Every structure is written in structure tokens, then in C-alpha cells.
Structure 1
Amino acid sequence: MSQNYEELLEVMHARKSVRKFDPHYTINKEEITSMLEEAISAPSSSNLQPWRFLVIQDRELKKKINRFSFNQEQIETASAIIAVIGDTEMYHNIDEIYLSNLAAGNIDEEHVQIQIQNAKAAYPNAPLEVRRNIATFDAGLVSMQLMLIAKARGYDTVPMGGFDKQQFAASFELESRYEPLVLIALGKAASPAYGSTRLPIDSITTYM
């Protein structure tokens, strides 16, 4: 096995869901931005990247979130809470994304126009529930990538779905197209995370 593979395994197994963070530890905006820039290399449906991020570091805002998030300790003690928000109208970005791909030399004019036409025929006409499912799936991909990147940089995380999404959207005055999907607490662990086990692979895998 290559050294890269060994290093990847080390990060994967080291990442645990931490719930006790050092409340005095801060991570600057520049480093958080750098981690997000790396995380968005994650794949997404038709490359429409239906993720948006709201980075919350203000102490009072974290307290506000916690009032409708079951008073989870990590929300107030983490260096930042990163809200991963799904764009259910991701089709508004079709031209910008695909023409950028053309400008980068990743595709030719003929094929980019086919991609644009196909995407514009499919996504605006898809039911909201379908687009919501796409955004949710893609948010999971970028969230996992962000948590691994954070661990590789020496930070700790925990993903949280246990919060009132309607209250969150109202509190931050999100447009109706944007739906909060997951909160990621980011910081330095104040105590180790609990270990956890997994089901045996034979019990969850079938080869055909």
C-alpha cells in the first residue's frame, strides 16, 4: 500500500465526533476559508455544487442557535459552527458553472452547449423534493470531505442534524430556495471523543 493510502487511513480512523471543545481556541477566517476551498472539490450532481456555507463564530449567535438545537454543548464551545445549506434552485448556476468549465479548457464549445441544454431541461422541471434530495446528498459529500480536511489539519469536528431547520432559516433570513441541512462544529477537542464500532461488513454487503 502506498504512503498516501496509509495517511488517508490514519486521518479517516482518527476522525471522531467530538462534543467537548476548547472554548478559548480560535481558528481564523483565512484557515476556515482555505478548508472550505479544499472541501468543495467534492463531487456533486451534474457539477451544480448546490452547497452554501454560513460560518458562525459570534458567541451570541451560537447561543441563539443552541436555543433551537437541543442545547448541545459543542455549539457554544466550538471555534466555529459551519452551517451547510442546500440550494434547491441550483439550476440558476448552470451557465456560470459550465461556461467556467469551458474557459478552463475542460470541455469544448459543442459539448458544453449540450450539457447546458440537458441541465436546463432537467433541473428546473424536477419536483422540489427531487432537488432537495440532490442537495442533501451532495451536502453529505462536501461535509464529509470538510471533516476529513479539518482532521488532517489537526482540528476536530462533529456533524449535527439535530436542530430546528425552520427556525434556523427564519433566524438567518434565508431565501426559500436555501435549506439548512447540517451543522458542523469545528474546533480543538477539550477531551477525547468516545470510540464506536461498526456492523460487520459481511452483514451489510451482498455481492451479486
Structure 2
Amino acid sequence: MDLFEAISSRRAIKHYDPEHRMTDAEVEKLIQTAMQSPTSFNIQHWRFVVVRDPKLRQEIRAVGNDQAQITDASLLIVMTADVDAWKKEPQRYWRNAPEPVADLLVNWMGPFHEGKPQLQRDEAQRSIGMAMQTIMLAARGMGYDSCPMIGFDHEAVAKLINLPADHCMGPMIAVGKKTQDSWPKPGQLSLDEVMVTDRFPS
């Protein structure tokens, strides 16, 4: 599928074929593609929790406003991120770079993040967001549909997946074969309203 077609045709799909299963190769391709997403300092904060256990998916659905796509979609990914990834062997993020470049960025990483918990969390969440979009567009390109979800009890899901204390929760994504189309796009703002040239008016 053409990239621009994938972008324009991607919708949040709620109804999936519960009998359909993605192959291990397809799941790996999707996650490997998500890993191409950009991250600040190449930290790669994201941790993709691929929920395969049907019982666990039922438990997540119970704290997820009973959204059917949580259990019915072929794949459920809980998006999380390691907030402290910036200080965990940071040299590994630049091990293949020229030594002067690696030294510069690795040595800058600590002072940039140290003592700034809000920045650390913001960067982790930004990384989650970019990886989510990559997953949804890649899924569309593979002939699947997806649904990003924030309507769930984040603390309860964190407990269910045993989220480490130094990680943060992001949204979840359901991926699979749709059984119903979504409704038409409900209302797109005009380009004039969303694009600002140079600066906002005084």
C-alpha cells in the first residue's frame, strides 16, 4: 500500500475478527518496524508489551471499559517506556557511531536528563507516541487495521503486566482484521486553522 494511502485510510477500528491470528513473523515484522521510530539521543525508551495470554487480555478488558477490541483483535500491544533508559549503559545506543560522535552524545546525555524528571517522562512519552504511529501505519501497510486506546485504568493494567517502577505507561494498540468499517471522519479542521506561518498573530 502506498504510504500516503496508508496515512489517509488509517482509522481507529473497533470491531475485529476474533478468530484471526497474526503469524509470529508478522508480529516480529511489526515490532521491528516500530523499532525504526526516532527517539531522543537514540535512547529507544519503548518497551512493547505484546499480550498473548487470552486470560490476561480478558483481565485487561475488565479494566478497559469492556472494549471488545482488547480481546477480539489479533494483537494487543501495551505501549510502555523505560523512563530511566537514558542512564542505563548509554554507550550502547551509540556503539556503531564514530567514536567522537558517540563520546559527544553519550557525555551530553547525562547532563541533559539529570535532575529533570518531567523531561525524562516527556521524552519517554514522545518516544511512545512516535512508535505508536509507526505501528499503526505499518499495520495498515500490511493489510491490517488498528485502534489506539487510552480508555483504561492505567494503574490496573500496569499491575497486570508487572510494569517496573522505573517505566511509564502509554496507550494500548489493538491490531487485526476488521469486521466493520468505522464511521466517516467526523470533522477535519481546515488547513488555515491548523497551519501557522512563522508565528501566531498578536
For the criterion TM > 0.5, the same-fold answer is: yes
Per-residue CA deviation, residues 155-175 of structure 1 (Å, 9 max, x unaligned), is 110000111111111112211
Per-residue CA deviation, residues 21-70 of structure 1 (Å, 9 max, x unaligned), is 00000002221111110121111111111100110122211110011111
User: Distance in 1 between the 2:196 and 2:121 partners?
Assistant: 29
Segments of 5+ residues of structure 1 without an aligned counterpart are 1-5, 103-107
Quote the residue 1:142 is aligned against: 131
Give the ranges of 4+ consecutive aligned residues of structure 1 lying more than 3 Å apart after TM superposition: none
Given candidates 94, 99, 110, the residue that maps to 2:90 is 94
SS in 1 for 2:172: strand
Given candidates 86, 90, 109, the residue that maps to 2:99 is 109
Quote the residue 2:11 is aligned against: 16
Structure 1 residue identity aligned to 2:195: T
- 1:1-208 to structure 2, matched below 5 A, reads 7-91=2-86, 92-99=88-95, 101-102=96-97, 108-123=98-113, 125-196=114-185, 197-208=187-198
User: Distance in 2 between the 1:111 and 1:96 partners?
Assistant: 13
SS in 2 for 1:34: helix
Quote the residue 1:105 is aligned against: none
1:180 positional shift? 1.7
SS in 2 for 1:115: helix
- Aligned residues with identical type, % of pairs: 25
Structure 2 residue identity aligned to 1:110: P
User: Distance in 1 between the 2:152 and 2:116 partners?
Assistant: 25
- Provide the TM-score with structure 1 as the length reference: 0.90
User: Distance in 2 between the 1:205 and 1:161 partners?
Assistant: 27
- Provide the TM-score with structure 2 as the length reference: 0.92
The answer on whether the counterparts of 2:56 and 2:160 sit within 8 Å (CA) in structure 1 is: no
Structure 2 residue identity aligned to 1:157: S
Structure 2 residue identity aligned to 1:145: T
1:93 positional shift? 4.2
The answer on whether the counterparts of 1:62 and 1:75 sit within 8 Å (CA) in structure 2 is: yes
User: Distance in 1 between the 2:188 and 2:85 partners?
Assistant: 35
Greater Cα shift, 180-189 or 84-93: 84-93
